[in-house]
A = this chain, B = another copy of it.
Amino acid sequence: MKSSQVTIKDIARELGISPSTVSRALKDHPDISQETKRLVNELAKKYNYKPNAIALSLRNQRSNVIGVVIPEIVHYFFSSVISGIEEVANANGYSVMISQSNEDFNREVAACETFLNGIIDGVLISVSKETNDYTHFHRFEEEGIPIVFFDRAVDEIQADRVIIDDFDGAYQATEHLIVQGRRKIVHFAGPQNRLIGQNRLNGYLKAMRDNGVVIDERLIIPCDTFQSALVETQKLIESGLKFDSIFTVNDFTAAGALKILLRNGYKVPDDIAVVGFGDDQTSLMVEPTLTTVNQPGFEMGKKAMEQLIRRITQTKPEPPVTELLKTQLIVRESSRS
């Protein structure tokens, strides 16, 4: 933000006309003569004139900047969401400001504080795992700044949300295994204090019941990282429990399970089938390729941003909307009989 920017004043001075005329000429205002417009535009191009976004923001009370509060960018899913957000933002003249909470409550609050300084027109939020107090979100409501929650929503706040149909995704994945003839299906489950973990477990349970498969509680194991999957899978094998497949809460966990299975001499999918969740890039890279559930992250980002723009530009208030995005089962080698 150094001083060398050309302003409307500079052009006006050089042409011996007033700033207001220049402003109008640049916006092709009908009152201005063709000749003046020509002169102004010529000079603007020559000096690479760009309207000063900050001055515009101050004047218009709109910055065309939106804020994103997101747990951790380093997950493929979240970075896909950001790409979707950016896609729609760019297409509509918005810029995107990003702040990570790193799943830490205090950082989330700090991120929201920063966004309350008047610079943003609206905010997209995915709530951190730690968060149980929602006052920092209320501040946006007070200021009249629209919020759209994505992926991780909060019931206590009246706002739009775009979320994944985790239940259905897990249901499809489990039913797929059953259709392939599997019955002793292990589930490596996510944390049960979060909806996402609950919904995926519930989808698994429902699919089992609907298909008359006996549920063995011992096959439902809390495990949601690559590292813990290495440990838990080995324990599972050594436990002597019979199982013919594993459905995991995410792809990293599946990759860990897969690795340990192979190292113990199991054939995948012949002996044990493996299904992940998320359609992370990794699912294509492991050998055999991993059956998984596609989470439309990019799509989610797009929808969330579209909804936010709708809120920012709406004239009359409308009730909050929840958009549920469908998942898609992607069958690959790790489960194909």
Question: Is A1's CB within 8 Å of the partner chain B?
Answer: yes
A-side interface residues, number (CB < 8 Å): 62
What are the 8 A-B residue pairs with the smallest beta carbon separation, nearest first?
A2-B144, A53-B117, A255-B285, A52-B118, A73-B79, A74-B79, A53-B119, A54-B57
Which residues on B sit within 8 Å (CB–CB) of A287?
258-259, 262-263, 286-287
The answer to whether B82 touches A119, judged by C-beta atoms less than 8 angstroms apart, is no
* Segment at the interface with B among A95-103, A176-184, A188-196, A236-244: A95-103
Q: Give chain A interface residues in 216-240, CB to chain B under 8 Å.
A: 226
The answer to whether A50 touches B86, judged by C-beta atoms less than 8 angstroms apart, is no
Q: Beyond A90-B110, A144-B4, is A285–B119 a contact (Cβ under 8 Å)?
A: no
Which residues on B sit within 8 Å (CB–CB) of A76?
74
State in angstroms the CA–CA spacing of A55 and B58 once bound together: 6
The answer to whether A144 touches B3, judged by C-beta atoms less than 8 angstroms apart, is yes
The answer to whether B86 touches A1, judged by C-beta atoms less than 8 angstroms apart, is no
The answer to whether B284 touches A143, judged by C-beta atoms less than 8 angstroms apart, is no
Task: For A62, give the chain B residue with the smallest CB separation.
Answer: B1
Which residues on B sit within 8 Å (CB–CB) of A102?
83
Question: Is A34's CB within 8 Å of the partner chain B?
Answer: no
Question: Is A256's CB within 8 Å of the partner chain B?
Answer: yes
Separation in Å of the A113 CB from the closest CB of chain B? 8
State in angstroms the CA–CA spacing of A71 and B131 once bound together: 32
A286 touches which of B53, B55, B86, B285 (Cβ 8 Å) = B285
Q: Give chain A interface residues in 284-299, CB to chain B under 8 Å.
A: 284-287
The answer to whether B119 touches A95, judged by C-beta atoms less than 8 angstroms apart, is yes
A119 touches which of B54, B61, B73, B145 (Cβ 8 Å) = B54
Separation in Å of the A69 CB from the closest CB of chain B? 12
Which residues on B sit within 8 Å (CB–CB) of A110?
90
Question: Is A51's CB within 8 Å of the partner chain B?
Answer: yes
Which residues on B sit within 8 Å (CB–CB) of A3?
61, 144
Which residues on B sit within 8 Å (CB–CB) of A284?
226
Task: For A139, give the chain B residue with the smallest CB separation.
Answer: B48
Which residues on B sit within 8 Å (CB–CB) of A63?
1, 54
- Chain A positions 103 through 122: 1 when the CB is less than 8 Å from some CB of chain B, otherwise 0: 00000001000101111110
Which residues on B sit within 8 Å (CB–CB) of A96?
97-99
